[in-house]
Chains A and B, each alone.
Chain A
Amino acid sequence: MPDPILRATGLSKSYHHRWASALDRLRGAREVPPRVRPALHDVSFDLGSGEVLGVVGESGSGKSTLARCTTLLERPDAGRVLFDGRDLTAMRSAELRHQRRHIQIVFQDPYSSLNPRYTVQSQLAEVLTVHRLVARSEVDARVSTLLDQVGLASTARHRYPADFSGGQRQRICIARALAAAPAVLVADETVSALDVSIQAQIINLLLDLQERLSLAMIFISHNLHVVRYVAPRVAVMFGGRIVEVIPAGVALEDARHPYTRALIAALPRLEAGGLDALEGPPAELAGTLPVTGCPFRERCPLRHEPCETVDPALVPVHGDHLVACHAATAGGAPPLPPVGGGGFPAGPAAGHTRRGA
């Protein structure tokens, strides 16, 4: 990719008890074995200027950790994040603070994303004045523009967050993020907590803004339908790793990783009586994921010998289509469980058209 606006390489993060591993070291263990699977392990991706990248995964897949590490809200244990060529992970805090405005994030919960004590005007203006983005006299005008951009009436400015609904609050959060004039916007489950019809409004809003302002966007969600709708390129996460990257132009049905295929097969379909399909083995694990080897192997129908010990690497299987699976990369089309017609009334055609009628 020519000069990505954002590049993450080898991001890893694990939440472990420092005391526990310190105790291990005290007891003389030289190499401290990891007790649980890290939240994020060796994740890398590129984001082009103005590009939308989708990230889909269930809870525990590491997608939120990815969002936090990418925006440096948490420091990754390993790996680097480069914005426009500049290494954010190596920066000192003062410099990092200045760079932060270029990558903004909008969270899932509209009710705790806004400070309840300050008015909309106050919170939006603060961004502008702290970063000295506009002259003092222009602040009010810019706030008006921002509110208009996100589809809120100008009368909203003097109200407190408590006066707004969930969808409206998300709009305010988006306005606040835009106030910093970022180059990258991370939407971390931004629409997941909203009602369906409001969700659609906000999705459209994000897409419009992305197009108009040439924003690069990382759209994270557990809802594969929404992610695919929004983003041409989709990264699938499981167990703290990216297990597949489906590029633009490749249909979901052509996913190669067994987890992705299971995910697609499990999507509730808008067809009557879709549940008479076979009941497979339970996908549930009462325990945690295995620490070594492929994280998906316990549930995988293609499990074989290398899966136990070697964590598969994310490699291309066809052009930009990347998969992390021993079986998928071993060559040949593996016997995968069939994926039903994923859509309604007909499945999405190979190729991703979003705006065509």
Chain B
Amino acid sequence: MTASVSAPALPARMLRSAWRFAAAPGWTRRIGLIGLAVIVLAAVCAPFLTPYDPTALSTGTGLRGPSAAHLFGTDQLGRDVFARVLYGARIDLQIGFIGVAIPLVAGVVIGLIAGYYGGVLDAVIGRVIDVVVAFPFLVLVIAIVAMLGPGLVNFYIAVSIVSWVAYARIVRGETLLAKNREYVLSARALGYRDARIMFRHILPNVVAPAFVFGMSDFILDILAGASLGFFGLGVPQPTPEWGVMIAEGRNFILTAPWVVVFPGFAIIVVGFFASLLGDALADQVRHIDAR
């Protein structure tokens, strides 16, 4: 084992931290992890779990209730709801993960730099953050997507532009605190360059709250995607996505509720497991800080 931590070691450290988190006791985190894992697995194995093509139209078999043949029933176009929920999971989970990953990385880096250097840089970034934060998240995302046009890529662009500020704010705050702690002062006194101090010394100690927020952001993004789908600004037809499914099925809410209930339920379930995981992560962070 080399004495210093070189570049490839960083992901290894993160994996180890992730493993330590996952393996620790506590039902909150286990249920959250297992739940999400099951859903991810189901999404990945969708083709094996259902014989139906989620986009296959089938006239004549529309709006059938749940049965042995169609676990969740069929929607107004005869498509199997169960299949659409499963395949829709792929899209929604992707929205959640990528919608968090990009802003998280961007926001953490920007927050670190702003907090560490302070001064004019921090003032400017701080004002930008204040402006973006002044707008409600969904409104801004919808506005941007409306300008760029519907579609998954545009959605990611919109979410990234809006979401990074939250992470930047969290990390900036933590960095301001960490900057004056003696281990950072020692690093400076030892003549380390700024980049090393920021990324090797401060970053691991400030990033945890960002991940905690990321969990709730995950749910928010899925809801945003669903909302956009509801407004017709979501993924294009006929790709299954839970929000779109709810939007299209809202006319049948009284006559064929299963068209709306199951995708809605899917959103709730994913949100539930993600929030459990977020709680567990928040607890962990609190305990570390209390040490």
Q: Which residues of A contact B (CB under 8 A)?
A: 71, 73, 96-101, 103-105, 107-109, 112-118, 121-122, 125-131, 136, 139-140, 143, 162, 173, 176-177, 180
User: Quick check: A116 and B189 within 8 Å, CB to CB?
Assistant: no
User: Quick check: B191 and A101 within 8 Å, CB to CB?
Assistant: yes
User: Quick check: B5 and A122 within 8 Å, CB to CB?
Assistant: yes
User: Quick check: A173 and B186 within 8 Å, CB to CB?
Assistant: yes
Given B181, B185, B192, which contacts A130 in the complex, CB threshold below 8 Å? B192
User: Quick check: A100 and B4 within 8 Å, CB to CB?
Assistant: no
What is the 8 Å Cβ interface bit string for chain B, positions 170-210, against chain A (1 contact, 0 not)? 00000000000111011111111100100001001100000
Contacts of A162 in B (CB 8 A): 291
Q: Which of B185, B190, B193, B196 has the most CB of A within 10 A?
A: B190
User: Quick check: B185 and A73 within 8 Å, CB to CB?
Assistant: yes
Contacts of A103 in B (CB 8 A): 189
User: Quick check: B190 and A104 within 8 Å, CB to CB?
Assistant: yes
Closest to A105 in B: B189
Contacts of A117 in B (CB 8 A): 204-205
Contacts of B205 in A (CB 8 A): 115-117
User: Quick check: B4 and A125 within 8 Å, CB to CB?
Assistant: yes
Contacts of A98 in B (CB 8 A): 191
Closest to B4 in A: A129
Complexed CA–CA distance, A125 and B186 (Å): 14
User: Quick check: B201 and A130 within 8 Å, CB to CB?
Assistant: no
Contacts of B187 in A (CB 8 A): 115
Contacts of A127 in B (CB 8 A): 190
Kindly state whether residue B68 has any CB partner on chain A within 8 Å: no
Complexed CA–CA distance, A96 and B187 (Å): 14
Contacts of A97 in B (CB 8 A): 191-193
- A126-B4, A139-B3, A143-B3 known; A112 vs B191 contact (CB < 8 Å): no
A selection of 14 A-B contacts at a CB cut-off of 8 Å is A73-B185, A98-B191, A99-B191, A100-B188, A101-B191, A105-B185, A107-B185, A107-B186, A112-B181, A115-B205, A122-B4, A129-B3, A176-B186, A180-B191
What is the 8 Å Cβ interface bit string for chain B, positions 153-174, against chain A (1 contact, 0 not)? 0000000000000000000000
Write the nearest CB–CB distance from A338 to chain B, whole angstroms: 41
Complexed CA–CA distance, A126 and B3 (Å): 8
Contacts of A118 in B (CB 8 A): 5
User: Quick check: A73 and B188 within 8 Å, CB to CB?
Assistant: yes
Contacts of A126 in B (CB 8 A): 4-5, 192
User: Quick check: B189 and A73 within 8 Å, CB to CB?
Assistant: yes
What is the 8 Å Cβ interface bit string for chain B, positions 205-233, against chain A (1 contact, 0 not)? 10000000000000000000000000000
Complexed CA–CA distance, A176 and B186 (Å): 9
Write the nearest CB–CB distance from B153 to chain A, whole angstroms: 36
What is the 8 Å Cβ interface bit string for chain B, positions 1-31, against chain A (1 contact, 0 not)? 0111100000000000000000000000000
User: Quick check: A101 and B190 within 8 Å, CB to CB?
Assistant: yes
Write the nearest CB–CB distance from A88 to chain B, whole angstroms: 12
User: Quick check: A114 and B183 within 8 Å, CB to CB?
Assistant: yes
Contacts of B186 in A (CB 8 A): 105, 107, 113, 173, 176-177
Closest to B186 in A: A113
Q: Which of B4, B186, B188, B291 has the most CB of A within 10 A?
A: B186
User: Quick check: A100 and B189 within 8 Å, CB to CB?
Assistant: yes
User: Quick check: B182 and A107 within 8 Å, CB to CB?
Assistant: yes
User: Quick check: A130 and B182 within 8 Å, CB to CB?
Assistant: no
Contacts of A73 in B (CB 8 A): 185, 188-189
User: Quick check: B188 and A130 within 8 Å, CB to CB?
Assistant: no
Complexed CA–CA distance, A136 and B186 (Å): 23
Q: Which 9 A-B pairs rank lowest in CB-CB distance, beginning with the nearest?
A: A125-B3, A100-B191, A113-B182, A139-B3, A107-B182, A97-B191, A115-B183, A129-B4, A117-B204
Contacts of A121 in B (CB 8 A): 3
> Other CB < 8 Å A-B pairs besides A97-B191, A115-B201, 20 of them?
A73-B185, A73-B188, A73-B189, A96-B191, A97-B192, A98-B191, A100-B188, A100-B189, A100-B191, A101-B190, A105-B185, A107-B182, A112-B182, A112-B183, A118-B5, A121-B3, A122-B5, A139-B3, A173-B186, A180-B191
Contacts of A71 in B (CB 8 A): 189
Write the nearest CB–CB distance from B253 to chain A, whole angstroms: 51
User: Quick check: A130 and B3 within 8 Å, CB to CB?
Assistant: no
Complexed CA–CA distance, A99 and B185 (Å): 16
Complexed CA–CA distance, A122 and B10 (Å): 13
Write the nearest CB–CB distance from B209 to chain A, whole angstroms: 15
Closest to B202 in A: A115
Complexed CA–CA distance, A173 and B288 (Å): 21
Write the nearest CB–CB distance from B136 to chain A, whole angstroms: 32
Contacts of B4 in A (CB 8 A): 122, 125-126, 129, 139
Given A96, A109, A116, A130, which contacts B291 in the complex, CB threshold below 8 Å? A116
Complexed CA–CA distance, A140 and B188 (Å): 23
Complexed CA–CA distance, A113 and B182 (Å): 4
Q: Which of B2, B4, B183, B192 has the most CB of A within 10 A?
A: B183
Closest to B205 in A: A117
User: Quick check: B190 and A140 within 8 Å, CB to CB?
Assistant: no
Complexed CA–CA distance, A105 and B191 (Å): 12
Complexed CA–CA distance, A108 and B187 (Å): 15
Complexed CA–CA distance, A155 and B192 (Å): 27
Complexed CA–CA distance, A104 and B185 (Å): 11
User: Quick check: A130 and B183 within 8 Å, CB to CB?
Assistant: no
User: Quick check: B190 and A176 within 8 Å, CB to CB?
Assistant: yes
Contacts of A136 in B (CB 8 A): 2-3
Contacts of B5 in A (CB 8 A): 118, 122, 126
Complexed CA–CA distance, A180 and B4 (Å): 15
Closest to A130 in B: B192
Closest to A162 in B: B291
User: Quick check: A113 and B3 within 8 Å, CB to CB?
Assistant: no
Contacts of A113 in B (CB 8 A): 182-183, 186
Complexed CA–CA distance, A214 and B93 (Å): 63
Write the nearest CB–CB distance from A149 to chain B, whole angstroms: 17
Write the nearest CB–CB distance from B236 to chain A, whole angstroms: 45
